[in-house]
Amino acid sequence: MISAGDFRNGTTFEMDSQVYRIVEFQHVKPGKGAAFVRTKLKNVMTGAVLEKTFNPTEKVQEAQIDRKDMQYLYTDGDMYYFMDNETYEQLPLSKDELGDTLNYLIDNMMVKVVSYKGKVFGVEPPIFVELSITYTEPGFKGDTSTGATKPATVETGYNVNVPLFVEIGDKIRIDTRTGEYMERV
């Protein structure tokens, strides 16, 4: 059991025979009355988001989420195939199950497939991925104002803002938690 006072972003728990992951939480101590915890929850199976308020002493059952290392192999249009490197079994997943992970997925990448009681509900890419720039406008000499960026497209089709000095063919590192450019590799 986990108490609402111990909630953190990413905590998963069971409530009303559903599994929820905390997207946002806020401990509130009003001037009058008792403290409470305001949360934004995402149902890991359906993707539905709801807001709920908890008493800090309220307890919920922590969900046992399984994370398994798998390798992304290929896509055949609608389905994306992942392989368990221990058993060599292949697991097909749809675009809906992958969500934003598609922005960072390249062949042979190792990812964590996340499941609850055998039902897969997501894929977690590595925190940082290195992708090649396939298209961006050229930067102009003298155009070096602090923090200036331009849009660029990487090999997966994802669009990211990069500094002006980044060119087509450069490899860049992207933080998959925020989707932002980190550095040129």
9: CATH:
2.30.30.30
How far apart are the C-alpha atoms of 112 and 88, rounded to whole Å? 15
Question: Which pair of structure tokens corresponds to residue 50?
Answer: 């709801």
pLDDT tens-digit profile, the chain (185 residues): 888 888 888 788 998 888 898 888 999 898 888 899 999 998 887 878 899 999 989 999 988 888 899 999 999 888 999 999 999 999 999 887 787 888 999 999 999 998 888 888 888 899 999 999 999 988 766 556 667 889 999 999 999 999 888 899 999 999 988 889 999 98
pLDDT at 143: 57
pLDDT at 8: 85
CB neighbours of residue 26 within 10 Å: 11
Place of tokens 């008792």: 34
Q: Do 46 and 97 fall into the same domain?
A: no
Q: Do residues 175 and 158 lie in contact, with contact meaning Cβ atoms separated by under 8 Å?
A: no
Q: Do 28 and 43 fall into the same domain?
A: yes
Q: Do 171 and 145 fall into the same domain?
A: yes
133: closest CA among 185, 169, 80, 175?
A: 169
Which of 124, 152, 173 is a domain's end point?
124
Give the bridge partners for 173, in sequence order.
130, 183
pLDDT at 140: 67
pLDDT at 51: 94
Q: How far apart are the first and last CA of the chain?
A: 44
CATH number of the domain at 170, please: 2.40.50.140
Tell me the whole-structure pTM to 2 decimals: 0.73
How far apart are the C-alpha atoms of 79 and 174, rounded to whole Å? 25
Query: What is the total count of domains within the chain?
Result: 3
* Residue 31 CA from chain centroid, whole number: 36
Q: Which domain does 74 fall in, by range?
A: 65-124
